[in-house]
Amino acid sequence: VRHLSGNDRVAIVSFSDLAQLELGFTSDKNQLLTAINALSRGSQTAMGDGMMMAIDELAQNMRTNAMPIIVMPTDGVHNVGTDPLAQAERASEQGFPIYPIGTSPAARGLILSEIATISQGRYFSSYSDNALERIMGSLGREAVANYIHITKTIPHPLKFERSITEPAAVNLGREVTQLEWYVRFLFEGGTWQAQYEISADRDATTALLRNPSTLEYRTASGGLVVLDLLQQGLTIPMLTA
């Protein structure tokens, strides 16, 4: 989800005891991540019903000229509901390739591979950088930046409190705090954001960042790019009761 562009729309279907549309098509990444994090386990697995609902949702609400795919993280267990292979045939007829991703070492790769083959998708035994690149490649997306390393150096009197999104590696020093992020890749049209909280222990005027504060990455052709991050000023007033 984090690698999608603002023009991409995603719907989320869950399947445990029954299939359920958790979220209709949207490009709002916060809504999508909230819905994914709220998913819970059931006692059974209605994989075929989940596939049927995903196919129906695409057929009814897909935009004209969209490139539809179904990404299906699962352990491959199916013990209630519609036959998954019959739904794979439906997906093939509609032109909706299915990309099953194994979610455990014991994932039932045989049936998941068959689903992928029938629907003209691809099976991945686990989530990996290779799986993500292949799936994004099916949408015509290439990684435009690889091995991204972001360094932010925060001077005192500013104090790092916590990461809100995308936790950083935090290196505490006497005069500065250094935050670092490592991002494997960024795809064309995609965005990456990190949020964190800082506080101040006294009134002052200071730069938000201090050197070294850099963005470093490899281009699609392998070239190294290093950029200085913008210096910004911040006035911190003393708060009084």
DSSP per position, 187-239: ETTB----EEEEEESS-EEEES-EEEEEEEEEETTS-EEEEEPPP-EEEEPPP
Least confident of 56-70, 71-85, 90-104, 225-239: 225-239
Please state the rounded mean pLDDT for residues 167-195.
90
Using one digit for the tens of pLDDT, what is the confidence trace for 182-212?
999 999 888 888 899 999 877 777 888 888 8
φ and ψ of 154, to 5 deg: -105, 125
Note the pTM of the prediction, 2 decimals. 0.80
CB contact set of 169 (below 8 Å; sequence gap of 6+): 179, 180, 181, 182
Sign of the CA dihedral with 132 first, then 133, 134, and 135 last: positive
pLDDT at position 203, please? Answer: 78
Question: pLDDT tens digits, residue range 23-64?
Answer: 999 999 889 999 999 998 888 999 999 999 999 999 999 999
Comparison of pLDDT for 4 and 231, the residue scoring more = 4
pLDDT of res. 87: 98
Q: Is the pLDDT of residue 213 over 70?
A: yes
Span 207-232, mean pLDDT? 86
pLDDT per position as a tens digit, 121-161: 999 999 999 999 999 998 888 899 999 999 999 998 888 99
State the residue for tokens 């609902």. Answer: 53
Helix axes 84-94, 47-61, angle to 10 degrees: 20
Specify the pLDDT at position 241. Answer: 40
In the prediction, which pLDDT does 237 show? 59
